[in-house]
Structure 1
């Protein structure tokens, strides 16, 4: 993340073991890397909950990134985040990232609830979480993103038919 923050794609790719695109050093990405590095500096134990590259196929094609905003809170809630590079959108990669995040959350005994916060104008993300049992539980104001709708789903559905589809 430090190399990405410095705009050094070559070094970031070397450390990550995959080739990264400009998507990882433009726009909001720089803000994300700074924020996550600060979180990990404050508590290195949070690193395993942070953002990772979303990689597809045997050749290690990096299509975006996904992860949690941090470890479970005191009631067992984790918030997810995912982003797909523009060249790879509308191909099911966000949905695949969501499935993996839900599986990872369900595998952690301390996680009881998975949260997603989405701008009401983000039709693609709203469609991505559709069909996974997320229920709108409120809204919030985010300093970076503005108004967001708050959705939650149990980490481990009681009814097996409610599991990831």
Structure 2
């Protein structure tokens, strides 16, 4: 598995979540060096950090397939999070999730971060990336579409998206 590394885009830095950072997020207790935007961490960030801690305890370090706090490149402020729900399944498919604080929404940050994470998944050997969003979360549908993910269908609760990175074995 490829090691975790910092991912930078034109405006963002996706920093591989560490165990210590995950603990601070779960406890909503920033260190003196953390710059958290208002509203961070949200419930989804805390759930992701808790899942990361549980996964590390059960399986060890997940390498590239981990959560990444989304930080503004300009000043290092954490405005949300993005990441993988876990390692690839037997077919090499990974699932992603993301969220931004309300003050950072509508500026293209989520699509920019998702495009970068999809590239990271390709680099790390995943065959496809999937994601979903509640039926009424049109903004999230647009994020996935802007990042190159195609609509796959929906059920009574969510719309499903996927981008294929490589042929399955």
- TM-score bracket, shorter-length normalisation: 0.7 to 0.9
Question: Is 2:80 the partner of 1:59?
Answer: no
Counterpart in the other structure of 2:138:
123
Partner of 1:161: none
> Do residues 34 (structure 1) and 50 (structure 2) align?
yes
Say if 1:3 and 1:128 are closer, same or farther in 2 by CA, change over 3 A.
same
For residues 12-161 of structure 1, the aligned pairs below 5 Å read: 14=33, 18-46=34-62, 48-109=64-125, 111-139=126-154, 147-155=157-165
Deviation of residue 140 (structure 1)?
5.7
Q: Which residue of 2 aligns with 1:6?
A: 27
Where is the helix percentage greater, Structure 1 or Structure 2? 1
Cα RMSD (Å) of the superposition? 2.3
Aligned length: 146
In the alignment, structure 1 segments of 5+ residues that lack a partner are 142-146, 158-165
The structure, 1 or 2, with the larger RCO (C-alpha pairs under 8 Å, 6+ apart) is 2
TM-score, scaled relative to structure 2: 0.75
Consecutive unaligned residues in structure 2, runs of 5 or more = 1-21
